[in-house]
Amino acid sequence: MTHAPARTLALNDQTLDQLPSHISTPDYDRGALRPGIVHIGVGGFHRAHQAVYLDELARLGETGWGVVGVGLHSREIGEVLEAQDRLYLVVERAPDGDEARVVGAMTRYLYAPDDPEAVLAALADESTRVVSLTITGTGYRIDAHSGEFDADDIHIERDLEDPGNPDTVFGYLVEGLCRRRDAGLPPFTVLSCDNMQNNGAAARTAVVSFARLRDGELADWIDEHVAFPSSMVDRITPSTSPEDRDAVAAHTGVDDGWPVVTEPFRQWVVEDSFCNGRPPLERVGVQFVDDVRPYEILKTRLLNAGHTAIGYLGYLAGLRTTDELMADPVFCAFITRLMADEIAPLLPPVPGVDIEAYQVTLLERLSNPRMADQLARLGRRGSSKIPSYLLPSVREAIDQGRPYDLLCLAVAGWLRYIRGHDYAGEEVPIEGPRPDLVPIAREAGIDPGPLLSEMSIFDHIGRDPRFAEPVRLALEALEREGPREVIERYLATGQQDAA
């Protein structure tokens, strides 16, 4: 992070009442906030989403749901937050202007490697009733096709050998739950707030499988007593750039070491299944439902699949941010048609949601000219996003005899992207759990076969000519013509005329 312009006000408890009046600030007594939630993975999204809802709840007088933030990997965010009494700015960027608020919901921040015992004590504390997670979709170590927990990891082995000094989220959760069981306390609810299919079931599988490797009785107790509700979370939150930080300081006059910039839209749909009470989040717009699945399918197959599709093809075409991309008529038409022609007709009905109107809102959100969301961010962990976000639509389209050429083009975009360089030979940022795919992609060139044979990603569909052939044509066309030209031709003529 770079330094803010001069003459800004520091952000902390003492300066709160001196902040400019256009900034909305916590009007509750932060000292009276009791920690009911431990949150693991305090990234930009948690701070822009769950923490904002909890801050709003505290502003309504519900002060029993403060957050103890826990980080397993990054010390920096904790240092920044501690220096400003765990206060930070969330700036909502609407097309016509910014709204800034200070969020005060965090009562403590613990960087786990510095003090594992403090984290375990917080998890075992009676006041902790919910443990929420944003640890990324790959953090659960669940195989997309088998649905099983992958325990093959040195840190997991270490956590099994030395449970009192954990490294991983599973080690912490299971030891915390073990201490509660032994103390005769009720367990906490584990609330996943990550984008993934059936995130509650995934969290359950991961935690119970890890516990079973440690102690079968403990695993049974967790399986029986701990609730793992699924939730659908939505708010597009780019990574904060140094430019964002400076712009926020200039706009607000407040020197926040790590503000969050996000969109005005937010949504949280949660399965109403908690084992030790829950915050009354319905008071601040959270929807509690019996079945989150239709909402999650709607969001992941339109928004996250759309993001995935434009992320790779856009980056390869030399674009870097969503505002740039959506201002380009070719890419804007691509995502519009991908959603309307290929994905939306496959979606099941969602209670209370007009799927056409949802797409219109989504396109408006993506087109927000004041949100420069990084395409590189959208391109992370492709090997888990392709099977979760794109392939379910491909399979259903094949079964129903519906079109899926644009979906295949999106998959081909990823296969090309993970060669690690764009058409100008510039390196592309590849972040994810499968760096081993890069040399395979390079060696294969325009032959998608070796990657499509990766069963953990493509399962049997990778060898199905109804999918493999259009992907091969798309990959060849990308190489021959480049992304923009191929998209234009696909939109004009359909892939059958491609070669």
Binding site for ligand 44H (CB under 6 A): 137, 195, 234-236, 303-304, 307, 378, 380-381
Does position 480 bind ligand NAD by CB under 6 A? no
Q: Which stretch binds ligand NAD (CB under 6 A): 50-58, 71-79, 155-163, 216-224?
A: 71-79
H or E element: which one contains 294? helix 293-299
Taking CB under 6 A as the criterion, the residue among 33, 72, 106, 477 binding ligand NAD is: 72
Query: What does 42 bind: ligand NAD, ligand 44H, none (CB cut-off 5 to 8 Å by kind)?
Result: ligand NAD
Kindly state the smallest distance separating residue 362's Cβ from ligand 44H, in Å.
Answer: 10
Residue with smallest beta-carbon separation from ligand NAD = 43
Quickly list H helices, 87-146.
Answer: 116-124
Taking CB under 6 A as the criterion, the residue among 62, 159, 175, 194 binding ligand NAD is: 194
**Are 189 and 207 spatial neighbours (Cβ–Cβ below 8 Å)?**
no
Q: What six digits make up the tokens of 469?
A: 């052939």
Query: What does 307 bind: ligand 44H, ligand NAD, none (CB cut-off 5 to 8 Å by kind)?
Result: ligand 44H
| C-beta of 84 vs 384, nearer to ligand 44H | 384
Q: Which stretch binds ligand NAD (CB under 6 A): 37-45, 117-125, 213-221, 461-469?
A: 37-45
Query: What does 378 bind: ligand 44H, ligand NAD, none (CB cut-off 5 to 8 Å by kind)?
Result: ligand 44H
Query: What does 210 bind: ligand NAD, ligand 44H, none (CB cut-off 5 to 8 Å by kind)?
Result: none
Residue with smallest beta-carbon separation from ligand 44H = 307
Q: How far apart are CA 318 and CA 320, in angstroms?
A: 7
Note the maximum CA span of the chain. Answer: 68
| C-beta of 181 vs 235, nearer to ligand 44H | 235
Secondary structure (DSSP) of 381-424: THHHHIIIIIHHHHHHHHHHT---HHHHHHHHHHHHHTTSB-TT
- How many binding residues for ligand NAD (CB under 6 A)? 22
Query: What does 134 bind: ligand 44H, ligand NAD, none (CB cut-off 5 to 8 Å by kind)?
Result: ligand NAD
**Are 260 and 101 spatial neighbours (Cβ–Cβ below 8 Å)?**
no
Query: What does 57 bind: ligand NAD, ligand 44H, none (CB cut-off 5 to 8 Å by kind)?
Result: none
Interface of this chain with ligand NAD, residues 207 to 246, rule: CB under 6 A: 233, 235-237
Is residue 462 classed as helix, strand or coil in its secondary structure? helix
Distance between the two ends of the chain, CA-based, in angstroms?
A: 48
Cα separation values, 409 from 301, 406, 439, Å:
16, 5, 21
Taking CB under 6 A as the criterion, the residue among 78, 116, 139, 413 binding ligand NAD is: 139
| C-beta of 235 vs 245, nearer to ligand 44H | 235
Does position 35 bind ligand NAD by CB under 6 A? no
Does position 136 bind ligand NAD by CB under 6 A? yes
Is residue 428 classed as helix, strand or coil in its secondary structure? coil
Q: How far apart are CA 148 and CA 199, in angstroms?
A: 13
The dihedral over CA atoms of 434, 435, 436, 441, expressed in degrees to the nearest 10, equals 100
Which neighbouring-strand residues pair with 255? 10
Query: What does 139 bind: ligand 44H, ligand NAD, none (CB cut-off 5 to 8 Å by kind)?
Result: ligand NAD
- Phi and psi torsions of 288, nearest 5°: -100, 130
Q: Which stretch binds ligand NAD (CB under 6 A): 129-137, 466-474, 479-487, 491-499?
A: 129-137
- Phi and psi torsions of 191, nearest 5°: -110, 105
Match 């392709």 to its residue by tokens. Answer: 386
**Are 88 and 103 spatial neighbours (Cβ–Cβ below 8 Å)?**
yes
Binding residues for ligand NAD, rule: CB under 6 A, are 41-46, 71-74, 134-137, 139, 169, 194-195, 233, 235-237
